[in-house]
């Protein structure tokens, strides 16, 4: 308690600086990963992606991000075991923020799309092992999280593959692809509204005081899907055949039909990400602030003031604007070449997988889902359509993320403990 009282202000300043750094990494990697399909397909520009992220990430975080967050991410350790030593948790959370920020920066510089959740989890495990002891870690939950390395990309890839094959069967491999694209376009836009609504209702709005049954959630999503399909139909009807572009690329006019769908999905995914992942990403910052302001009290949940959400939002937007292009390049063109129709399949598949996981309790990573979905879209055109070298680099980065976060956090924990104890 004495350490908290003596160095409380310094801990607060460090938490804010490290928190801003870590959210910068989220923007450069996690958000860039979510926007990569839209930018890579040519549906929106990088500048438009930044504007969309700024608006919808903020909106999602404020409307549905909640006012409390778990003190220990994913419940992988029990904070009650260090109730009488709050400085241990403060050192650990500061270490986790800095470790996560550094690893996300390294991964973003290399263009590797890695899981923010896995980075934070690895960092928390690292400080827990050296600061409390290996027995303090819930290894069963850690194994569940690690299982998402396989579950996430496989599910995302399978759904994306099936969506892409349906588009090829109903639209691309027909006598009049353009007319069939306008015919089936509203149905695919309905799927966007329906699935994204379920993502928001099942995951993003869980913190609001709105109790909806599963049936009501599906009905609400169905209605929103119909509304979005109506808006999409109006936009699609304005698309005309571009004969000059069709001579260069046979499906150029068809791809223009899918462009509005990509804009819808980009906005919706930014909102869903903001509502679900922003608050979780800044949980260590909220934990430090809560402990310092309470004079050393360790709780299972930490308050999430508006200023912390604003700080997180600023960090995310700056990260996307300054470094996000590297990960967007990997997702948008490094794995396979994307067009609006392919990008649509990848994004919708990622959203559908999140819905499935949220209702069944499957441990998944949204980052790994998105990468798997892009691979699935590429495989629909054959193995030759994907860059196995790029995929190999991504898989290695996934395997390294947990231990890298743990090692860095352990190092920083010892450093901070030596400085302030």
Least confident of 45-54, 87-96, 317-326, 335-344: 45-54
Q: Model confidence over 22-61: pLDDT tens digits?
A: 989 988 998 888 788 888 888 888 888 888 888 887 777 7
More confident position, 101 or 3: 101
- Condensed to tens digits (0 to 9), the pLDDT of residues 234-285 reads 888 888 887 777 677 778 888 888 887 788 777 877 776 776 666 666 778 8
State residue 213's pLDDT score: 80
Which among 10-19, 48-57, 72-81, 312-321 has the top mean pLDDT?
A: 10-19
Would the pLDDT of 81 be above 80? no
Q: What is the pLDDT of residues 130-147, one digit of tens each?
A: 988 888 888 888 887 777
Residue 207's contacts (CB-CB under 8 Å, 6 or more residues apart) are 64, 65, 66, 67, 68, 279
- pLDDT digit string (tens) for 207-218? 566 677 888 888
Tell me what pLDDT residue 135 has.
Answer: 83
Average pLDDT value for the chain: 84
User: Residue 232's Cα: distance from chain center in Å?
Assistant: 26
Is the torsion defined by CA of 90, 92, 98, 100 positive or negative?
A: negative
* Structural domain boundaries, residue 136: 2-420
Question: How many independent structural domains does the chain possess?
Answer: 1
Neighbours of 2 (CB within 10 A): 8
Tens digit of each residue's pLDDT (9 = 90 or more) over 188-209: 989 888 887 887 777 656 556 6
pLDDT on residue 60? 74
Cα(118)–Cα(106) distance, rounded to whole angstroms?
15
Question: Using CA of residue 198, residue 218, residue 159, residue 46, what is the dihedral sign?
Answer: negative
């Amino acid at each position: 308690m004495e350490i908290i009282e003596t160095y409380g202000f310094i801990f607060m300043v460090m938490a804010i600086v490290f928190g801003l750094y870590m959210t910068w990494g989220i923007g450069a990697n996690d958000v860039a990963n979510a926007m990569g399909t839209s930018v890579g397909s040519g549906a929106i520009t990088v500048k438009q992606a930044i504007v969309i992220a700024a608006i919808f990430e903020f909106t999602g975080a404020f409307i549905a991000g909640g006012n409390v967050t778990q003190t220990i991410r994913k419940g992988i350790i029990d904070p009650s075991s260090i109730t009488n030593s709050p400085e241990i948790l403060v050192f650990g959370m500061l270490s986790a923020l800095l470790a996560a920020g550094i690893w996300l920066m390294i991964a973003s510089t290399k263009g590797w799309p890695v899981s923010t959740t896995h980075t934070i989890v690895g960092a928390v495990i690292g400080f827990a092992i050296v600061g409390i002891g290996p027995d303090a870690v819930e290894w069963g939950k850690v194994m569940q999280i690690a299982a998402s390395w396989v579950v996430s990309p496989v599910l995302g890839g399978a759904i994306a593959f099936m969506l892409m094959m349906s588009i090829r069967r109903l639209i691309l491999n027909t006598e009049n692809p353009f007319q069939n694209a306008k015919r089936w376009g509203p149905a695919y836009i309905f799927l966007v509204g329906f699935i994204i609504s379920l993502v928001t209702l099942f995951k993003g709005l869980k913190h609001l005081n709105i109790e909806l049954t599963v049936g009501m959630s599906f009905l609400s999503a169905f209605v929103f899907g119909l509304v979005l399909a109506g808006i999409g139909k109006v936009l699609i009807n304005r698309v005309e055949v571009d004969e000059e572009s069709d001579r260069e690329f046979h499906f150029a006019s068809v791809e223009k039909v899918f462009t509005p769908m990509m804009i819808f999905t980009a906005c919706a995914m930014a909102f869903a990400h903001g509502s679900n992942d922003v608050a979780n990403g800044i949980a260590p910052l909220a934990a430090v602030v809560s402990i310092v302001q309470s004079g050393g009290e360790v709780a299972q949940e930490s308050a999430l003031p508006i200023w912390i959400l604003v700080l997180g939002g600023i960090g995310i937007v700056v990260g996307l604007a300054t470094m996000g292009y590297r990960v967007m390049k990997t997702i948008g063109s490094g794995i396979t070449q994307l067009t609006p129709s392919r990008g649509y399949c990848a994004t919708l598949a990622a959203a559908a997988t999140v819905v499935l996981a949220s209702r069944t309790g499957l441990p998944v990573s949204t980052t790994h889902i998105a990468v798997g979905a892009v691979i699935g879209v590429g495989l629909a055109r054959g193995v030759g359509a994907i860059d196995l070298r790029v995929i190999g680099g991504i898989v290695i980065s996934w395997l390294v993320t947990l231990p890298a976060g743990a090692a860095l956090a352990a190092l920083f924990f010892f450093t901070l403990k030596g400085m302030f104890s």
